[in-house]
Amino acid sequence: MDKETSKALGDGLTFPLNVFFKFEIYRFQNVVEIMKNTLDDIRSAIKGEIIMTADLSEAINAIFNNRIPKTWLFNLASEEISWMCSSIISW
C-alpha cells in the first residue's frame, strides 16, 4: 500500500472489517488485471498478431459457453484467486 492510500485511510485499518475490505479490493484488482490481459491477448490472437494458445482457446470457449475461464479462477499453483460461480452472469 502506498503512502497516500495509507494516509487517506488513517486509522481505518485498525478495524477488522476495513482490513478485510482492503484485501478484497486487492484481490478484485488482481482478477480484473488478469481478465484485461486475457481479453487483450484474445483480441490480438484473433487479429493474428500473436499465436492462439490452448489457454486462449479455452478462455474463448468458456466465455462463449457462459462459463468463467479457469485462468480467471485459479493461479498457476491451482490456488483460488477469484470467486467460484456457475456462470459469468452470476460471477
More confident residue, 85 or 68: 68
pLDDT, position 89: 65
Predicted TM-score of the model (pTM): 0.70
pLDDT digits (tens, 9 = 90+) for 44-76: 999 999 999 999 999 999 999 988 888 888 776
Dihedral of CA atoms 18, 22, 23, 25 in degrees, nearest 10, equals: 130
pLDDT digits (tens, 9 = 90+) for 23-40: 888 888 888 999 899 999
